[in-house]
């Protein structure tokens, strides 16, 4: 059968209820063959004779959901010129919305001959690469709508689809590790109990386990090795071929609970690697258009990611792929936002990082993508790649500066007071000058990359032996403290100190200005045994152990209570930066004031005190400067937050009568208590209060 002409847009395989339109962009192709595969692997090829604007297209009636397909691209194979067409390689559709399975590593996947590296490898790769699948676009979304939680009211929970759900006893065994498991009531109830408003999923775009990991009998667990930017990863579905349906069902269930879905996306590189990597998709379709090649020697790839290649964001068709993918996940899959892995790479139009690069201009004007949450990991491994605070106003950023100083403060490093104060109040030095607000800072202390919270207070050194890289992998600068013993211990004093430190870190996170992000399992005491780079540990090392988590119910309750307290008091989630002055004429009190534990206002020399490990901050609830939807000025209670990273108790003197006549305790991290109303023991202005060693204490102003 000869394909009908069809349409050049949309790209990919589009089922309309009667048949399917196929469209593939390639500027260098001389001929494109569409290959359909039966259940037994029998291949039928169709020439796509229609070409418009370098898009090869055709329509096949009676071809519908579940059909397996791929492409063979005929054209020049001249690697030294950056051209790598080879019709012996079955190629994945860059716009495929589902895949049949993962990669089966074989010599046929590589574009060159192993016996003669300068010659083309003519082994047929069919059967070793995943089949692209035609999908059903129709789904009953019922009354689904995006929650659109404001940033300043958000609590983000970074999670792994499989890692979070694989051992949960209340999730049916056949669903564990899948999208359906994430939408299960037991998982949703846990998230709601923590006050989570958004779940940020580690990569769910179809990804590949690297060849070298397969050889070591390991897997790519995190998923930062994308090969399909439109397809939910096939291994996270309970039924073969049902990944799109199950993903949509998960989103619908989370939205019903008021929880947003944010995807960690990897548009900076693909799984095809460098010049020695496999030919799976874009490398064989149009290598020059999709990848950054070395200008003077285009057989090699520019690598700003440490993975072998970088997408060519300076090419309009590569940019179109990214933007089409983003719009698809918003419009068709109903996701609420994206966290961009190594986002600085997307700003490299030429060599330097440029925040006004074309990609960001496209996002700014796009009527769909510009309306969802956009979070940057603001660095890559290239020169000048660390760009915290350097992204456009529409963007928020993972704040690595926040992570580092909060870790340093609580492990007792000297000379941290000034920066610690800046970070917990929204990092105005990073975000205020370009018109952004405190919620531009995504605050985090732990994330998938690095120690868990429990390991942060249990290990001084990384322990990555299971990764098989002789300890060379993973960060060496962890800014952790083991509290006296490396790893597990039965010493009750050390165990108590570690629990207190975990509460200190979590209280700091949830009471800081900005958007808090919690790593999955941190509320449950999850440990990776000191492994700070569990990217290849698809096993009990990285999964949440729900059985042992039952022993840490107090910490889970503490985190949930902190999130609830934060939600009740807008002074802890302001939409504007503090100004250090009265918000209106006639007001006597400033919106914020800093004090030494002696009750005296901080002076310049106090900030520079290398031994200072304690500080008190006054938050004026009457000077929030926000307005509610009706335009009324938002007013809250006023609070004193006291942080003591010293190893001894401190007698804290409360500020003068001007700031409040009396104060009552509401949060004590050392005791693990959070109260919605001040306790009965009220301390008058100028009175003293014992600030326990290594603790966070919050006092609320009360009428005497």
Catalytic residue (one of 200, 336, 341, 499) = 341
Q: What is the DSSP letter of 632?
A: P
DSSP 305-370: SSSS--B-TTSHHHHHHHHHHHHHHHHTT---EEEETTGGGGG-SSSS--TT-HHHHHHHH-TTGG
CA atoms within 13 A on the CB side of 226: 28
Give the CA dihedral 473, 479, 483, 485, nearest 10 degrees.
20
Contact between 531 and 462 (Cβ < 8 Å):
yes
Residues in the chain: 704
Distance CA 697, CA 650 (A): 12
DSSP 210-236: -HHHHHTT----S---EEEEEEE-GGG
- Is residue 144 exposed (0-12), middle (13-18) or buried (19+ Cβ within 10 Å)? middle
**Beta strand pairing call for 260-265 and 226-232:** unpaired
Contact between 61 and 7 (Cβ < 8 Å):
no
Question: How many other C-beta atoms lie within 10 A of the C-beta of residue 153?
Answer: 14
| Sign, CA torsion 187/190/196/197 | positive
Catalytic residue (one of 158, 377, 419, 637) = 377
DSSP 279-308: --SHHHHHHHHHB-B-TT-TTSB--SSSSS
> What six digits make up the tokens of 169?
């006893």
Distance CA 607, CA 488 (A): 36
491 is catalytic: no
Q: Which residue reads 């405190």 in tokens?
A: 438
675 is catalytic: no
Helix axes 492-511, 400-410, angle to 10 degrees: 140
> What six digits make up the tokens of 329?
């996940």
Catalytic center residues: 341, 377
């Amino acid at each position: 059968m000869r394909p009908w002409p069809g349409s050049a847009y949309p790209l990919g395989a589009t089922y309309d209820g009667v048949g399917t339109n196929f469209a593939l962009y390639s500027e260098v192709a001389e001929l494109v063959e569409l290959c359909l595969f039966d259940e037994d692997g029998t291949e039928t090829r169709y020439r796509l004779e229609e070409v418009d604007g370098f898009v090869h297209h055709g329509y096949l009636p009676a071809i519908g959901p579940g059909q397996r397909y791929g492409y063979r691209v005929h054209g020049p194979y001249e690697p030294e010129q950056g051209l790598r067409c080879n019709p012996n390689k079955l190629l994945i559709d860059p716009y495929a919305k589902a895949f049949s399975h993962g990669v089966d590593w074989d010599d046929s996947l590589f574009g060159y001959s192993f016996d003669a590296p300068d010659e083309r490898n003519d082994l047929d790769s069919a059967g070793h690469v995943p089949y692209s699948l035609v999908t059903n676009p129709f789904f009953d979304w019922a009354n689904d709508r995006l929650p659109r939680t404001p940033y300043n009211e958000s609590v983000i929970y970074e999670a792994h689809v499989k890692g979070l759900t694989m051992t949960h006893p209340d999730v049916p065994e056949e669903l564990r590790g899948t999208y359906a498991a994430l939408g299960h009531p037991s998982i949703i109830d846990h998230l709601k109990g923590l006050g989570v408003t958004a779940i940020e999923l580690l990569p769910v775009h179809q990804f590949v386990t690297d060849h070298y990991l397969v050889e070591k009998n390991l897997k790519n667990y995190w998923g930062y090795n994308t090969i399909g930017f439109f397809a939910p990863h096939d291994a996270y579905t309970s039924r073969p071929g049902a990944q799109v349906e199950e993903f949509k069902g998960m989103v619908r269930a989370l939205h019903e609970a008021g929880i947003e879905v944010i995807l960690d996306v990897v548009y900076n590189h693909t799984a095809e690697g460098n010049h020695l990597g496999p030919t799976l998709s874009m490398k064989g379709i149009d290598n020059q258009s999709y990848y950054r090649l070395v200008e003077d020697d285009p057989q090699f790839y520019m690598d700003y990611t440490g993975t072998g290649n970088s997408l060519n964001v300076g090419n309009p068709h590569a940019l179109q792929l990214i933007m089409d993918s983003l719009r698809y996940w918003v419009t068709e899959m109903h996701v609420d936002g994206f966290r961009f892995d190594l986002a600085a790479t997307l700003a490299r139009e030429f060599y330097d990082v440029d925040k006004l690069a074309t990609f960001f201009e496209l996002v700014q004007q796009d009527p769909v993508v510009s309306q969802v949450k956009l979070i940057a990991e603001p660095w890559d491994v290239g020169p000048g790649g660390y760009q915290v605070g350097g992204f456009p106003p529409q963007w928020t950023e993972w704040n690595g500066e926040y992570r580092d100083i909060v870790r340093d403060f609580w492990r007792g490093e000297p000379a941290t007071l000034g920066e610690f104060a800046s970070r917990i109040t929204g990092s105005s030095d990073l975000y205020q000058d370009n018109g952004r607000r405190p919620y531009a800072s995504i605050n985090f202390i732990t994330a998938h990359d690095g120690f868990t919270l429990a390991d942060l207070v249990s290990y001084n050194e990384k322990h990555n032996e299971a990764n098989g890289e002789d300890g060379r992998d993973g960060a060496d600068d962890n800014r952790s403290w083991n509290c006296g013993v490396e790893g597990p211990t039965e010493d009750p004093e050390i165990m108590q100190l570690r629990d207190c430190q975990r509460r200190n870190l979590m209280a700091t996170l949830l009471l800081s200005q900005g958007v808090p992000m919690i790593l999955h399992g941190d509320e449950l005491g999850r440990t990776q045994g000191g492994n700070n780079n569990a990217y290849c540990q698809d096993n009990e090392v990285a999964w949440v152990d729900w059985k042992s988590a039952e022993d840490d119910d107090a910490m889970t309750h503490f985190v949930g209570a902190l999130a609830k307290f934060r939600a009740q008091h807008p002074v802890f989630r302001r939409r504007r930066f503090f100004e250090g002055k009265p918000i209106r004429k006639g007001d006597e009190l400033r919106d914020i004031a800093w004090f030494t534990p002696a009750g005296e206002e901080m002076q310049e020399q106090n900030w520079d005190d290398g031994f200072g490990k304690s500080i008190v901050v006054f938050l004026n609830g009457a000077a929030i400067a926000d307005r509610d939807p009706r335009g009324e000025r938002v007013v809250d209670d006023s609070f004193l937050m006291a942080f003591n990273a010293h190893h001894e108790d401190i007698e804290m003197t409360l500020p003068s009568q001007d700031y409040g006549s009396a104060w009552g305790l509401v949060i004590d991290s050392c005791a693990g208590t959070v109260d919605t109303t001040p306790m009965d023991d009220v301390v008058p202005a100028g009175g003293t209060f014992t600030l326990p060693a290594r603790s966070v204490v919050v006092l609320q102003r009360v009428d005497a």
